[in-house]
Amino acid sequence: NAGVTQTPKFQVLKTGQSMTLQCAQDMNHNSMYWYRQDPGMGLRLIYYSASEGTTDKGEVPNGYNVSRLNKREFSLRLESAAPSQTSVYFCASRDGGTYGYTFGSGTRLTVV
């Protein structure tokens, strides 16, 4: 049982480049989330998807787009990367009936 799988684990981008972070869960969870973590700031919500076909902005959505491709997959896209987007990105999913949030192992992104 893989849980939540994120790819890639590490990435270095040049300013202005684009990329997509992939996330997939195999627990049949309805809700999925993208967080970023910066030193001393905990985790901040970028976007979330309460169910397949819906997406909503979180606390820090600027510079990002998301796609809920199907129930399993939720991707995060940076169209034009900026150094301020250097961070560790976590994907999570949740079972709608309980408290069970499960996190992926993270993607460390550096924008130079």
Chain residues in the site for other proteins (CB under 8 A): 31, 33, 35, 40-45, 48, 50, 56, 58-59, 90, 94, 96, 99-101, 103-106
Given CA atoms 27, 8, 13, 36 in this order, what sign does their dihedral have? positive
Closer of 58 and 63 to other proteins (Cβ): 58
Structure tokens at 80: 């034009």
Residue 21 CB, nearest distance to other proteins (Å)?
14
Closer of 41 and 112 to other proteins (Cβ): 41
Which residue's entry shows tokens 């979180």?
Answer: 58
Structure tokens at 7: 């790819």
